[in-house]
Structures are given as structure tokens and as C-alpha cells.
Structure 1
């Protein structure tokens, strides 16, 4: 039979083993465990194998030290211009100090959620609707700075606060669409008017440049005519009749060439003063004799031979 001593020894061994296993704590990676001794915080267990005093020390909280995501539910926000929009978001935070996160606030996630929602209403309510829709990055930056500063005493770090959706009412969206269409039509009309104005300016500049060049050409022609007239006048003043005959014959010949070149004339009526033209041609011949001297008779006849142009009966 077993004696009482034989029963007590195994019982003590089992009790010691239970106490030892109770005092051994394994902390997984990414967690920190604050330790309380008789209800008071004493130290924090890091990831790995740790030993505490059984029945004296206990684990106060199991704090997740990894970055965590917190969904911000949809809420209505009234903007500065009295527009009502539905807004939701997401917040990212990380516990940096496990004792502070465990003992400085009760219900850490609930506290972060309410803090974020309150500041969303505060920040977005101070902005107009157009500013709200076009400056989402600015809103996220302001929210992150404000919420991180408020949650810093809790031993956490707000890494990101993002606004996911901003949903105005349907009637407000329709009004915004009409406003956008009107603005685009306005821009199109302004661009069209600017293009028409530029085209008219360029056309006017082209006409001015053409008129300037025409005037310049007429001025050059007038200067040449004046120069020629001056030369003839000087020749007349010197008594050079041959120059006078040449000048008159040239003008007369030009006038007859213009009359003969008309497309609607079939018969050219020679004026009675045609003999004067012949006299002028005679003057030209005299000038040529003085300039070139006496040439062979055959050459002179060939030079002054008048070409004969025959016209068909059909003309």
C-alpha cells in the first residue's frame, strides 16, 4: 500500500511543474505584453520567451505593435457653403508605447475612431464644396497632422488618414454638371472669339503690308518717271531735239501698243497724226546714225525694215 508520503511527493512535483509552466510566457512577434504585479504595471514583455512570477505577476494587456487599419464609417458633413456631403475614410496607426496605449486610454480603437470622425467634420466643414472636391490631398494632410498630435499621448503614431469617398446629393451633382457644362461652353466661346480676333488682326496687318508695298512700288515708279522727265527736260534745255523726238516717239509707241493689245478690238484706227510718229521714228534713225555711224546699206535696211503681220479672214 502507498503511504501518505508517497502521495505527497508526486503531488508536489506536479504542483511545481504547474507553477513553472504558469510563469513561462511566450510573446509572439509583433506584440508586447505589459506585466502587472498586484494590479500595478511593472514591465513589458518583448517577443520571445519570458518568465514571470506566478500568482504575483499577470499579463495586463496584449498590445499589437504592428501597423493597423481602422475603417471610418460614412458620416454626413456640412460644408462652409451649406452643402451636405457623405464622407467615409480609413485610418492607419501603430502602437509605439505599449504601456501608454494600455493605460492612458480606455478602448484604444474606439478612441481613435471617434477622434478621426470628429476632426473630419471639423476640417471639411471649414471648406467650400468646390474646395473640398479638388483638395483631397490637403484634407488628408491636415487630418493626419491634427489626429496624430491628439493621439500622441496614447503612445500611438498615426501614419495615414485618407478620405475614401465624398458623395454630394444627387440634385447637387446635377447642378454641378450643368455648371461645368456652362463653364466649358464659355471657354469655347472665348477661345473662338480670340481666334477670330487674331485672324482679323493678321488679315488687317497683311492688307497694311500689301498697301505699304504697293505705295512703295508706285513711289519708285514715280521717282523713275520723274528722273526720266528730268533727263529729257535737261536735254530740251540744252537744245537736243533728237532726245525730244525719241521721248515723244517712245510715248506714242507705248500708247499704240496698248490700243493694239486690247482683246475686244479687231480693227485699229490710226489717228491722223500718225505721220508725226513716222517723223519721230525718223528722229530715232538720226540718233542711231550719230551713235553708230554709217552702216552698210543692207544692214540698215534690215534694221529699219518694218515687219508685216497678216491677219486671216477669220479674224
Structure 2
């Protein structure tokens, strides 16, 4: 039994349909986007999932990774504005937003981003001094991100982050910086020590001033008290009370003798004859005080008793 041409055509058509179905059905994984080219020209972009294209006419052009990717920036030497050579490396993060632009606007996207980042690192960091370079890393990262993202925008990508990982000055420069830091710290310590001494002297001077003010105030009050006592005695004398002046003179005389006797420089005290008379009349001074400050009736009713501390002193006669 022979096969006719129709019998052979049917299996061939079935095979062609199956091949066409497999050729026209395209599955795009999550996080990717495929470009479709028709006779070599871009027509559309396939999103994740099952997609149908015209077999033998359309074909997949570029398979673009739409996830955020990291690009390691190799170490390179940068000469700063103050002619210091440092070794710098970094890292860049980017994400493809437009698969067609990333596929057809630039050739070798990663190499383009890498060269763009390295060029701007040398440009930005070369315009700064070494001290500014080491202390303003955040400002450098922000400036690099703004410049690189603006330059890569036509490529359909978004540069999300540019970070400087290491800044390595030469060893001799590191030693010089360490010595400079030590000298600066010593300077600060000396300044703080001097400030402490200054504050201590100021506080000590203020203490002396306060003490002198208090002493002067005490002397002033003592002088006022003595002036008031003298005024009271003067008023008593003016009123005719002779006993008040006697009491005042006797008190001053006694205080002077006490001062002389308490001196630590003299072991023997020579006293005049009048002093012996004064010592013998201490009881009389007490009686005067009672008459001045005490009750007048009691002083007149009770007789005075005179007891001498020592035998009376007889003066030698002059012949």
C-alpha cells in the first residue's frame, strides 16, 4: 500500500506547527526583559512571563537584567589638589530601567559605567585637598552619584549608589599625618592645661578679694562699735559722770597690760609702779562697774572690800 502526497503533507504540517509554536512561545524569567527584533530592527520588549512572537520573522535581540547590580571599581591612583598621591577604590550600584536604551544606546554597558565612574572619581577627588578628601567621604559619594547618574541617564539606567571603599595614602604620608596629629593633640593638651591654671588663678584672686572685702567690712564695723562706745563715754562725761571715764581708762590700761604679759618674746615683764597700784585697785574697778551699770542702791549699801594681790610697794626715799 503506497502513501499519497497528501498523507506525507499532513505529518510535515504537524511538525511545522509544533516547531512554530516552540519558536513563537518565549518565556521570560522574573527580573529580566528581552528585546524583540524583526528583520534586525527593534520592535518591542518582552516582560517576565509567557510571550508569543512571530516565528522565523521575530527574534530575541538582547536579554537585559532588570535587577539592581553591583559593579566593582578597581583601585586607581588619584593626585589631589595639594599633590598628594592616594590609592582609591570603590563600588557602584545601578539598575536598568529601559531595556531598549540599555541594549542599543551603548555598547558594553558595564564597561561604559565602569569607565565613567573611574573618570569622575579622579576628577572629583583630584579637585580636593588631602585633609578634605579624608574627612568628606559622604560629600564625595553624593557628588559622584549625581554626576555619574546624570551622565548615564541616556543609557536607560539608574545609578543608585556610588561608594568610595578605601582611600590609602602612601606610608610616608601616613607617618607624617600621625606625627602631625600627635603634635596637634599635645598642643590642645597644653592649651587646656594653661586654661586650667588661668581659671585657678582667677578663682584664687577672687577669693582673696572677697576675703579682703570681708576683713575691711569687719574692721569697719569694729571701728563703728568703738566710735559708738567712745561717743557713749563722752556723753556720760559731758553729763558729769566721772566714774565712766575712770572705767574706760582702767579698761584700756588693763587690756594693754594683758597684751604685754601674753607676749611670747619676753620672759620677764618690767612693770611700772603705777601698774602695781592699778593691780591693787582691781576691786575698785569692779565697784566702779557696779556703780555705772548695776544698781545704785546695792552699791551704796554694801561696803567695799579691798584685797591686794601683793603687798604694797614702798618707794625708797630720796635723800
**Common fold by TM > 0.5:** yes
CA contact (8 A) 1:101 1:155 kept: yes
- CA spacing shift, 1:236–1:26, aligned 2, 3 Å: same
* Residues 137-216 of structure 1 mapped to structure 2, 5 A cutoff: 137-216=138-217
Deviation, structure 1 residue 71: 0.4
CA contact (8 A) 1:36 1:58 kept: yes
Any gaps of 5 or more consecutive residues in structure 2?
311-319
- Mapped to 2, the partners of 1:300 and 1:79 lie a distance apart of 113
Deviation, structure 1 residue 20: 1.1
- Mapped to 1, the partners of 2:81 and 2:108 lie a distance apart of 33
> What is aligned with 2:284?
282
CA contact (8 A) 1:242 1:283 kept: no
CA contact (8 A) 2:247 2:288 kept: no
- Mapped to 1, the partners of 2:279 and 2:185 lie a distance apart of 76
* Residues 1-315 of structure 1 mapped to structure 2, 5 A cutoff: 1-5=1-5, 6-262=7-263, 270-274=271-275, 275-276=277-278, 278=280, 281-282=283-284, 284-286=286-288, 288-289=290-291, 291-295=294-298
CA contact (8 A) 2:291 2:299 kept: no
Deviation, structure 1 residue 262: 4.5
Any gaps of 5 or more consecutive residues in structure 1?
309-315
User: What SS does the aligned partner of 2:298 have?
Assistant: coil
> What is aligned with 2:316?
none
- Mapped to 2, the partners of 1:260 and 1:299 lie a distance apart of 33
Deviation, structure 1 residue 254: 1.7
Aligned residue pairs total 307
Deviation, structure 1 residue 264: 6.7
CA contact (8 A) 1:242 1:286 kept: yes
Stretch deviating more after TM superposition (207-216 or 162-171): 207-216
- Mapped to 1, the partners of 2:162 and 2:240 lie a distance apart of 108
Stretch deviating more after TM superposition (33-42 or 222-231): 222-231
- CA spacing shift, 1:159–1:305, aligned 2, 3 Å: farther
- Summarize deviations over 1:138-159 as a string: whole Å, max 9, x none: 0000000000011111111010
Task: Give TM-score, length-normalised by structure 1.
Answer: 0.89
- Mapped to 2, the partners of 1:286 and 1:87 lie a distance apart of 105
